[in-house]
Every structure is written in structure tokens, then in C-alpha cells.
Structure 1
Amino acid sequence: MKVLVAGASGALGRPLIRRLRDAGHEVWGLAHRPDSLKTIERLGAHPLKGDALNRDNIFEIVERIRPEVVIDQLTSLPASPFDLPKSLPADCRLRLEGGGNLFEAARTFKVQRYVQQLSGFYLDGEDGLATEASPLRINAPGTIGESARMYTALEKRGSSAQEMEGVGLRYGFFYGPGTWYWPDGAFSRHLFKGEVSLIGKGSSTFSFIHVDDAAQATVAALTAPAGLYNVVDSQPTKMSEWLPAYARWIGSDAPPRFDEQEAFHLLGKESVYFQTRLTGACNRKALQILGLSPQRLAWLGV
């Protein structure tokens, strides 16, 4: 199968290319920077230099390659999660406008299937774990709400082309090599510096996913029934449990604690919401249909 991966050199793109190649697919990787193109070539895929924000460029590429499947992993994320607020406008523009160009090109040139990266961590599970029927938290404060509205638009776009099969993969918080949540990642560096705190009861539930497990599920999505899938691990864990365990795992001191009122004044409404209101996601559908077999979180039990 001929597969075009946009955003192919990122933390997920690298293991995804390897798994696609191992499965016998012909892989084309779209990127903009020269170092990213070298990475794609080194992994055994065909590198494609392109700019998703240039509509004519993207249409030319898709018309020339004529892929059977397009996997949209376009992101413009910062090196540190602390920089998300200032980077979010560029990220939204790339995913909505750049991804929109890619989506329209795929539809124009009769791509059979479009696989879209989505969010499995800003879902509203109300009093339980979120399912594929759960909405995103579009009314949440700050960047959480902004991101949720962006992902809602992506979900709506993905289901809009009746002539093209749409698969939406709602990934959990990525961890593993090249991500924020790894011993050499940005989140760990902030913990070592004492810049991460635990707020209130830390009652938010997080659903993570290792990038290699996410890559496996993405390859399976090439032939699975169209629709939404929550691609998350099987250990939804409260912030009050996983954050201290993570600190022990990397050898950091335990994070300082603030009550909610104190954190509201020092860190803002969004930080309090992030640590006290999130719900994890249920992965039952991905287990059954995508064959997802997520590894256990490395830091739990430490």
C-alpha cells in the first residue's frame, strides 16, 4: 500500500515509518526542514520536501505521488510544554489550514483513506472514562479549550468527505523517546528544576500512550473500519499518583504542593483545571479492533 505520512519525522513519525516499512508498505514522508528529510530517508521512506501551508505545493505532491492512504500527523509543538500558550496559534494554523490543504488534496485526487491525529486527553468523560462518543472540553479555560476546539474542528473535517474513509485516532499523552515525558524530555527537566507542582488533590485522570504503541495502532488503522478510536494505554491514572511516581522514576525530588486557591493565584485557572478536572479515556474499542496492546507505564510501581 502506498502511504503518505505528513509530519513524518516527529516523535511518533519515526516509529510509525519503521512499522509501516516492516509491514511492507511503500512510505513517503512529508517534511519541511532538511534535517527532517534526512531522518525520513535514513528510516527507509521516500522523503518529500513540502510546505503544508502552501496549497499549490501540497496539491502537486499528492497528485504526483497518488497515495492510497494519507496519515496526517502535522504538528508545530514547542520543545517544552511550558511554551504551549505562545506556540498554539502556529500549531492550530498548521493543523487546520495546512492539514486542510492536505485533506482537500487527498479528496481531490481520490485517496482512499485519511488517518487524522486527534486528542484523547482533553475529552469529557463526565464522571467516568471518556469513550469515542464523548465530546472534547471546548469550554475549558486557556489553551485547553483552544486545543479542544481545534481538535473538534479536525474531527468534524475528518467525517465530512463521504467519498474518502476517515479514521480519527485520539492519542493519549505521548511518552517515550523524543517526547516531553521521558527521562531526557522537557517535562523531566522542569521537574528537576522544581518548576512542576502538584495542585490540590491532583484529581485529574491522565491517559498516556507510548509512541511505539501509538505507531502500532496507526498501522492497524490503515485497514480497520473507519471512525474514531481512543488510542490510550490501559492505566488511566490520577495526577496525584503518577506525578510523584514519575519524579521517583527519573530521580527527582518530589514536586511541591499547592492548594487550589493558592495555585489559582500563583499559576492561574488553567493550571488548576489541568490538574483537577481532566478525565482519562477508555481504550476498549482500540483493544478490540486495532489490536492495541499498550505497555505498562514505566514509572508506576517505582
Structure 2
Amino acid sequence: MRVFVTGATGWIGTAVVGELLDAGHEITGLARSDASAATLDARGVRVVRGDLDDLDGIRAAATAAEAVVHLANKHDFADQAGTNKTERGTVQAVADALAGTGRPFVLASGLAFLTPGRVATEQDGSPFHGVDSLRGGSENLALEYADGGVGTVVARFAPTVHGAGDPGFLAALVATARAKGVSAYIGDGTHRWAAVHRGDAARVVRLALDRQVPAGTTLHAAAETGIPTRRIAEAVGRGLGLPVVSVPAGEAAEHFGWLTKFYGTDMAAGSDATRTLLGWTPDGPTLIEDLDSGCYYR
């Protein structure tokens, strides 16, 4: 298929593009910089220059494609309202372009804050609606289009998609531990994080296209249901040779900054339905194995 991918040079996107190319798909990638364009071109990916605010360009690329995978997100925590607005606009532009065609639209979403305190499943609907909610309520918006001839498939990624080169939450935790001189967790450290290796996550996206998953399907890219944050802190402490300590909830914001909201929330998730539907069997390193490998400390 001709697949248009946003976020094609990102952390997850790079792996997804590799999976799709290996499967014989023809990829067009959105690139906002010369460096990103050169990276895509070197991989044999057709380049469309633009960014998530270029809605006309996104609509045109989606219209020309046989499937769309939307992975890009501004992730601007200093301007969450702007990030949410952009995400919603991008999803609506793609969905409008695909309306009535039945073409697949795989939308990256998250498992963070979905069902705090219990294990989330694929049957759980997103509680986020409207532009002022997390990710601009884009998951629910995209699913609304499934009744209008868009092959919407929601791929919810675990809070941590880990591996060598990870720029996300784990890298930020390691950086915080280095800066503070201790590897910490909040309270009793029982908050859980679902996790998935980047290669396993990318395979979920590829399988969603190759298996022609029905419109309206929600998938979970979560290889591990939930690792207690205390275990994560202990692994980081081993890797950096630092003491492991508990930070009281009332002092967490001072210690962890913007990470506090995520690190202090229970975000566990299962993936039984995804494994059955896709025949997906994660085989990458676990989160703790990656932390113990040393790749986060170089």
C-alpha cells in the first residue's frame, strides 16, 4: 500500500517506517526540516515537506495515500492547549480526507491516564472529549469517523516505549536521577507503568495494516501490564550507582518537575485482545532488561 506517515522520523515512527518498508509498503513521510527530509530520502521514503499546522498539505497527502498512520505530536508540555488543538486539527484533516473511502487510518494514542488505578483494556473507551482535553480528544474524534467510511484504528501506546536511544520518560527519569544524586520513586512506589519495546510497538502498527483490522478497533501496544515505579527506580539506581529513595507525594513536584503527573499515576494496561486479533507476541527486551543493559546511561 501507499502509506502516508506523520512522525516518520520520530522515536516510534522510525521503527514503524522500517517495519512497513520491510513488508513492501510504499511510504510517504511528513518532514518539517531539511535533516528529517534527508533521513527519509536516504531510506527510500517519499518526502512531503510541512508540519502538523499545514492542514492543507496533510489533507493532500492523506488523499493521495491508501492508508495513513498518524504518529506525530508536538508534545509541548509548556503549551498543552496548543498541542491539543493542533492534534485535533490534524486528525480531523486526515479523517475528512479519508471520509467515505474505507481506507485505514491508524491513529497513535496513549494509555496514560486512561483508567488510573486499574488495568486498562482495549474495551475501555477514552474519557477525553473535545479540544480542551488530553490530545484534544482526538481518539474519540477519529472513532466517530469510523461510521463515516474511515477505517479508523486506534493504537494506544504504553506510557514508556523503551529501547536504546529512547528520548522519553525513562530518559527523563535517568536525567533527573543524575541531577539529584538519587534515584527516586513517589510514596511507596506501587504506581505501575505499562511498557513496550519500540520494535514490538512498531509491529502493532504494521500488523494493523497488514491484517486489515476492522474500522473502530482499539489496539494496545503494551507488552508488560505494569512495572511498579519502585522497581524502575531501583534499576536506574543500579545503572547509575546511586541510592534509591522515596520522595513524599507532597515533595514530588519539586523533585521531578513536569514528570510528577506521570510518575505519580498508576498507568497499567493489558493487551490480550490485541495479541489475539493480530497474533502479536512481543519479543523485545523488557523495561527492566533495557535499563539493566546500560543503554540509558551512555
Distance 1:30 1:262, change over 3 A: closer
Contact residue 203 and residue 277 of structure 1 kept, 8 A: no
Counterpart for residue 154 of structure 1: 138
What displacement does 1:97 show?
1.7
Counterpart for residue 295 of structure 2: none
| Aligned mate of 1:221, from 195, 198, 208 | 208
What displacement does 1:213 show?
0.9
Contact residue 180 and residue 188 of structure 1 kept, 8 A: no
Cα distance in 2, alignment partners of residues 189 and 125 from structure 1: 26
Which range moved further: 221-230 or 113-122?
A: 221-230
Cα distance in 2, alignment partners of residues 152 and 59 from structure 1: 19
| Aligned mate of 1:168, from 154, 166, 172 | 154
RMSD between superposed Cα atoms in Å: 3.0
Counterpart for residue 72 of structure 1: 70
Counterpart for residue 16 of structure 1: 16
Distance 1:268 1:209, change over 3 A: closer
Cα distance in 1, alignment partners of residues 228 and 132 from structure 2: 20
| Aligned mate of 2:242, from 253, 257, 265 | 253
Letter in 2 for 1:95: E
Cα distance in 1, alignment partners of residues 70 and 39 from structure 2: 18
Cα distance in 1, alignment partners of residues 60 and 180 from structure 2: 49
Cα distance in 2, alignment partners of residues 152 and 89 from structure 1: 8
Distance 1:228 1:243, change over 3 A: same
Contact residue 122 and residue 220 of structure 2 kept, 8 A: yes
What displacement does 1:168 show?
0.1
Letter in 2 for 1:85: F
Counterpart for residue 88 of structure 2: 96
Counterpart for residue 288 of structure 1: 276
**1:267-282 → structure 2 map (5 Å cutoff):** 274-282=262-270
Letter in 2 for 1:179: D
**1:9-158 → structure 2 map (5 Å cutoff):** 9-63=9-63, 66-77=64-75, 85-107=77-99, 110=101, 112-124=103-115, 126=117, 128-136=118-126, 149-151=133-135, 153-158=137-142
User: Secondary structure of 1:280's match?
Assistant: coil
Distance 1:274 1:52, change over 3 A: closer
Distance 1:71 1:268, change over 3 A: closer
What displacement does 1:153 show?
1.4
Cα distance in 2, alignment partners of residues 175 and 15 from structure 1: 12
Letter in 2 for 1:206: W
Contact residue 196 and residue 287 of structure 2 kept, 8 A: no
What displacement does 1:198 show?
1.5
Letter in 2 for 1:244: E
Contact residue 287 and residue 293 of structure 1 kept, 8 A: yes
| Aligned mate of 2:233, from 235, 243, 259 | 243
Cα distance in 2, alignment partners of residues 45 and 273 from structure 1: 37
Distance 1:192 1:269, change over 3 A: closer
Cα distance in 2, alignment partners of residues 25 and 107 from structure 1: 22
Cα distance in 2, alignment partners of residues 268 and 15 from structure 1: 29
Cα distance in 2, alignment partners of residues 174 and 203 from structure 1: 20
- Alignment deviations for residues 91-118 of structure 1 (CA, whole Å, 9 cap, x no partner): 323311233222222327x361110000
Distance 1:147 1:11, change over 3 A: farther
User: Secondary structure of 2:164's match?
Assistant: coil
Note the residue ranges of structure 2 that are not aligned, 5 or more in a row.
293-298
- Alignment deviations for residues 12-45 of structure 1 (CA, whole Å, 9 cap, x no partner): 1111111101001111111211111111112221
Contact residue 174 and residue 211 of structure 1 kept, 8 A: yes
Letter in 2 for 1:280: A
Note the residue ranges of structure 1 that are not aligned, 5 or more in a row.
78-83, 139-144
Distance 1:244 1:98, change over 3 A: same
User: Secondary structure of 1:221's match?
Assistant: helix
- Output the TM-score relative to the length of structure 2: 0.83
Identity among equivalent pairs (%): 20
Cα distance in 2, alignment partners of residues 70 and 262 from structure 1: 43
Cα distance in 2, alignment partners of residues 275 and 52 from structure 1: 28
Letter in 1 for 2:65: P
Contact residue 180 and residue 187 of structure 1 kept, 8 A: no
Cα distance in 1, alignment partners of residues 185 and 220 from structure 2: 27
